[in-house]
Amino acid sequence: MPVTSMESANLVRTVKLPVAGVSTTQLLVNSAQAADHSVSVEALFQAATQLDCMVAFARSSGYAKLETTLCAALDAGLSARFVVGLDFYHTEPPVLEALFALVDWYPDQFEFFISGQNRMRTFHPKAYAFQYADASCKVVIGSANLTAGGLSLNHEFSLFTESSDCTLADQVASEIADLLQSGEIEVATQERLDEYARCHKIYALHNRAAKLNAEVDCKSSKITPSSKGAVYLPTLLSILTLMKADPTASGFISQQGARVRRHANARGYLDGLRTQPVCTSAQFMTYYEPLVSGSGWHSGGLERGKNIVAQQGLVFQAGMRDLYARLQTNPKLSAEDAYSQLHGYLSRIPRAGTNVLTEALHTFDPLRFAVMNQNSVNGMTLAGYRTFPAKPNKSNVDATLYADFCAKAKRVCAALGLANLGELDALFNYAYWAD
Please check the confidence at residue 8 and state whether its pLDDT lies above 60: no
Please check the confidence at residue 234 and state whether its pLDDT lies above 90: no
Q: Are 358 and 343 in contact (CB under 8 A)?
A: no
Report the C-alpha gap between 310 and 101 in whole angstroms.
75
How does pLDDT run across 151-162, given as a tens digit for each residue? 999 999 999 999
Summarize the confidence of residues 409-415 as an average pLDDT: 97
Percent of the chain beyond pLDDT 90?
Answer: 81
Please check the confidence at residue 334 and state whether its pLDDT lies above 70: yes
Summarize the confidence of residues 319-346 as an average pLDDT: 97
| Average of per-residue pLDDT values in the chain | 91
Closest CA to 366 of 427, 411, 319, 410: 410
20: exposed, middle or buried (Cβ count in 10 Å: 0-12, 13-18, 19+): exposed
How does pLDDT run across 115-141, given as a tens digit for each residue? 999 999 999 999 999 999 999 999 999
Using pLDDT thresholds of 50, 70 and 90, give the confidence band for residue 279: confident
Distance, C-alpha 5 to centroid of its chain: 13
Sheet holding 22-29, edge to edge: 22-29, 157-163, 137-142, 126-132, 48-55, 79-84, 110-115, 185-187
Domains and CATH numbers, the chain: 20-187 (3.30.870.10), 225-433 (no CATH)
The CA-atom distances, in angstroms, between 388 and each of 80, 165, 229, 378 are: 62, 68, 17, 9
Instruction: Give the pLDDT confidence score for residue 228 in this predicted structure.
Output: 57
Please check the confidence at residue 13 and state whether its pLDDT lies above 80: no
Please check the confidence at residue 2 and state whether its pLDDT lies above 60: no
Summarize the confidence of residues 319-324 as an average pLDDT: 97
Please check the confidence at residue 40 and state whether its pLDDT lies above 60: yes
Summarize the confidence of residues 391-411 as an average pLDDT: 97
Please check the confidence at residue 5 and state whether its pLDDT lies above 60: no
Using pLDDT thresholds of 50, 70 and 90, give the confidence band for residue 328: very high
Task: Please enumerate in sequence order all residues whose Cβ is within 8 A of that of 391, keeping only pairs 6 or more positions apart, or say none.
Answer: 374, 377
Q: Are 335 and 357 in contact (CB under 8 A)?
A: no
Instruction: Give the pLDDT confidence score for residue 118 in this predicted structure.
Output: 96
Using pLDDT thresholds of 50, 70 and 90, give the confidence band for residue 229: low
